[in-house]
């Protein structure tokens, strides 16, 4: 038999009251303690890179310590490959073969000869929790022939998404993340620079290279929903969230949620 003294009962009441208050005041998504992903596992399983109508970037790390960087765009292509080794929580890159198709003097002098990659936590990103950061020993034209010289490349680790409902800020607007949900446009919808009808309309860019560029997004199109507004403002006779979406080569534009199902 357990005998509870008045002191024990008093302490228990304080504990329960504190628990209730904590639950009442807790955020929409309680931040769980983060454990940094294992670098070796990430390198062997993640598919790094991105593409659009203008460019394609792929980065691979093979199981036998071989890496490859490939970038392609209109009139601008480069590749870099070699070996990598582990060092604490990072990997060291050593170039063995480099190519630039548009340079008179191809080779590693137009790219990097050494580099280091490591995992970094992204505190305020609306899509992913971590990224792979690669720093190189030389600055070079990384994305286009007229781009600024750069010695750093950042790659999203897409298997670690920000939990749905996490409070974030996007360009000054308070949002709740949507986990990159796939939605469908129910009725023709306009894209805007911000979450409201007072913000400038944006064109729907199907392909940044050769178009078309449309004045609105037609019904039936699939979109990626990154986040939504916290409140539900009224637009005409509707009350709904504004959604931060991407579709084709239109990235991070706002659309009224009444016309998108996700």
Which tens digits make up the pLDDT trace of 62-96?
988 999 999 998 778 899 999 999 988 999 999 99
Range of the domain at 239: 167-261
Listed as ranges, residues in the chain with pLDDT below 70 are 1-34, 53, 102-107
Domain count, the chain: 2
Does the residue 33 lie in any domain?
no
Does the residue 183 lie in any domain?
yes
Strands (DSSP E) contained in the chain are: 48-51, 55-61, 66-73, 76-87, 90-100, 114-121, 130-141, 149-156, 167-170, 173-185, 191-192, 201-202, 204-205, 213-214, 222-229, 234-235, 238-239, 242-247, 250-256, 260-261
Position 106 scores a pLDDT of 60
Does the residue 7 lie in any domain?
no
Does the residue 189 lie in any domain?
yes
The domain boundary, picked from 89, 123, 156, lies at 156
Tell me: do 147 and 107 sit in the same domain.
yes
Tell me: do 66 and 149 sit in the same domain.
yes
Tell me: do 126 and 172 sit in the same domain.
no
The domain boundary, picked from 156, 185, 215, lies at 156
Tell me: do 182 and 148 sit in the same domain.
no
Position 34 scores a pLDDT of 62
Does the residue 256 lie in any domain?
yes
Tell me: do 103 and 47 sit in the same domain.
yes
Does the residue 139 lie in any domain?
yes
The domain boundary, picked from 122, 156, 190, lies at 156
30 φ/ψ sector (left φ>0, alpha ψ -120 to 50, else beta): beta
Position 27 scores a pLDDT of 47
Question: Token pair of 22, please?
Answer: 């904590």
Tell me: do 188 and 118 sit in the same domain.
no
Tell me: do 174 and 146 sit in the same domain.
no
Query: Long-range contacts for 214-221 (Cβ within 8 Å, ≥24 apart)?
Result: 215/190, 216/188, 216/189, 216/190, 216/191, 217/185, 217/188, 217/189, 217/190, 217/191, 217/247, 217/250, 217/255, 218/185, 218/188, 219/185, 219/186, 219/187, 219/188, 220/184, 220/185, 221/184, 221/185, 221/247
Q: Which alpha helices (DSSP H) does the chain contain, by range?
A: 6-24, 39-45
Tell me: do 132 and 43 sit in the same domain.
yes
CATH of the domain at 215: 2.30.30
Position 15 scores a pLDDT of 32
Tell me: do 114 and 201 sit in the same domain.
no
Position 32 scores a pLDDT of 52
């Amino acid at each position: 038999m357990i005998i509870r003294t008045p002191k024990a009962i008093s302490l228990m009441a304080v504990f329960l009251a504190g628990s209730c208050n904590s639950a009442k005041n807790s955020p929409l998504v309680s931040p769980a303690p983060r454990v940094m992903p294992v670098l070796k596992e990430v390198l062997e399983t993640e598919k790094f890179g991105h593409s659009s109508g203008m460019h394609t970037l792929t980065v691979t790390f093979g199981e036998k310590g071989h890496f490859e960087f490939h970038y392609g765009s209109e009139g601008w292509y480069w590749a870099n490959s070699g070996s990598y080794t582990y060092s604490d929580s990072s990997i060291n890159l050593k170039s063995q073969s480099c190519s630039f198709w548009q340079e008179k003097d191809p080779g590693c002098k137009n790219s990097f000869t050494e580099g280091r990659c490591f995992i970094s936590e992204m505190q305020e990103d609306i899509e992913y929790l971590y990224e792979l950061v690669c720093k190189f020993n030389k600055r070079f034209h990384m994305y286009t022939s007229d781009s600024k010289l750069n010695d750093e490349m950042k790659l999203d680790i897409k298997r670690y998404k920000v939990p749905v409902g996490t409070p974030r800020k996007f360009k000054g607007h308070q949002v709740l993340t949507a986990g990159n949900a796939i939605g469908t446009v129910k009725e023709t919808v306009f894209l805007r620079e911000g979450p409201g009808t007072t913000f400038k309309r944006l064109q729907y860019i199907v392909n940044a290279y050769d178009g078309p560029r449309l004045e609105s997004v037609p019904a039936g199109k699939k979109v990626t929903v990154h986040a939504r507004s916290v409140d539900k403002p009224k637009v005409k006779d509707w009350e709904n969230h504004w959604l931060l979406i991407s579709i084709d080569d239109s990235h991070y534009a706002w659309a009224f949620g009444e016309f998108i199902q996700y």
